[in-house]
C-alpha cells in the first residue's frame, strides 16, 4: 500500500496567471461539475472543476492534510480557492474521481456504489492518496463481488497489495473442476499458470493431507505474491 508519499508528487497545485487561467477556461472548455460544485476547495480533474469541502480529504488522507496545511505565501490566495487557481489532480480520471466523491459526499444525489468497477476506482485513488479507511472499505465491499472470479481477484490483489486475497483465490483455481483457460493464463502470467497447473495435478492424484496443507501454506505455491 502506498504510504509516506510526498504530497507534491501526487497532487499538483497549479499556478497559472489570471489571464492564462481565463484563457484556459474558455478556449480549452474547462467546465464546472454539474454534481460536485458546492464550496470550500476547487479541484481540476481533466477538463472539469469540482468544488467540494476539503475536510473529508484531510480527515481520510495525510497527503491532503499536509497539502491543505501548507502556509499561504504573502500576497497570494490559497490554491483551490478560485476556478483560476484550482488544485490540479494529475494522472486521475474524472470517472474515478467522481466515484470517490460519491462515497465522500453521498448527499450529492449520486447513485450507490454497487459494482466491482466502481469500487475499483475508489480503491485505486484510496491507495494512491493513502486513505486507509476508504481503502479497507473498498476491499471489504469488493471481496464478495469477486467471489466467482478468482483470476480478477488475483489481478487486483497483486496490483494493490491485498495479501489476504491471494491464497483463497489461488486455492479456488487449484480446486475447481475446470482448468485455466487461455485467457486466464495470459492474465495470470507464465509463472502463476505453470505452478497452478502443477499443483492441480498434485491435488488430483494425492491425498487429502496435501489439500489441507495447500490451503494453509504459501510455500506450496513457491511464488512471491506480487
Extents of the domains making up the chain = 166-225
Residue-level pLDDT at 17? 39
Asked whether residue 25 carries a pLDDT value surpassing 50, the answer given is no
Q: What is the per-residue pLDDT for 188?
A: 94
Cα separation, 58 vs 66, in Å, equals 8
Strand order in the sheet with 87-88: 12-13, 87-88, 41-45, 48-52, 31-37
pTM for this prediction:
0.80
Query: Which pLDDT tens digit goes with each residue over 39-81?
Result: 899 999 999 999 999 999 999 999 999 988 877 665 566 788 8
Half-sphere exposure of 72 (CA within 13 A, CB side): 9
The predicted-structure confidence for 168-196, as pLDDT tens digits, reads as follows 999 899 888 888 999 999 999 998 899 88
Q: Cβ atoms within 10 A of the Cβ of 15, count? A: 11
Q: Which residues of 99-109 are buried (b: 16+ CB within 10 A; e: fewer)?
A: bbbbbbbeeee
Most confident by average pLDDT, 3-17, 32-46, 202-216:
32-46
Residues 113-146 have pLDDT tens digits of 789 999 999 999 999 999 999 999 999 999 999 9
- Helices then strands, counting H and E runs in the chain, come out as 11, 5
Amino acid at each position: 500500500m502506498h504510504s509516506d508519499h510526498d504530497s507534491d508528487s501526487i497532487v499538483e497545485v497549479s499556478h497559472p496567471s489570471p489571464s492564462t487561467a481565463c484563457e484556459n477556461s474558455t478556449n480549452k472548455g474547462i467546465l464546472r461539475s454539474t454534481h460536485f460544485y458546492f464550496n470550500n476547495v476547487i479541484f481540476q480533474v481533466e477538463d472539469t472543476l469540482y468544488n467540494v469541502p476539503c475536510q473529508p480529504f484531510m480527515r481520510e488522507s495525510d497527503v491532503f492534510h499536509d497539502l491543505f496545511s501548507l502556509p499561504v505565501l504573502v500576497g497570494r490566495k490559497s490554491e483551490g480557492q478560485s476556478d483560476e487557481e484550482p488544485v490540479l489532480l494529475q494522472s486521475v480520471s474524472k470517472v474515478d474521481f467522481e466515484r470517490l466523491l460519491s462515497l465522500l459526499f453521498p448527499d450529492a444525489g449520486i447513485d450507490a456504489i454497487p459494482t466491482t468497477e466502481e469500487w475499483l476506482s475508489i480503491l485505486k485513488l484510496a491507495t494512491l492518496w493513502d486513505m486507509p479507511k476508504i481503502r479497507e472499505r473498498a476491499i471489504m465491499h469488493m471481496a464478495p463481488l469477486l467471489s466467482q472470479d478468482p483470476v480478477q481477484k488475483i489481478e487486483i490483489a497483486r496490483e494493490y497489495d491485498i495479501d489476504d486475497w491471494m491464497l483463497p483465490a489461488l486455492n479456488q483455481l487449484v480446486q475447481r473442476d475446470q482448468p485455466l483457460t487461455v485467457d486466464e493464463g495470459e492474465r495470470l502470467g507464465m509463472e502463476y499458470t505453470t505452478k497452478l497447473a502443477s499443483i492441480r495435478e498434485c491435488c488430483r492424484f494425492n491425498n487429502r493431507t496435501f489439500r489441507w496443507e495447500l490451503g494453509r501454506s504459501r510455500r506450496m505455491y513457491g511464488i512471491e505474491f506480487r
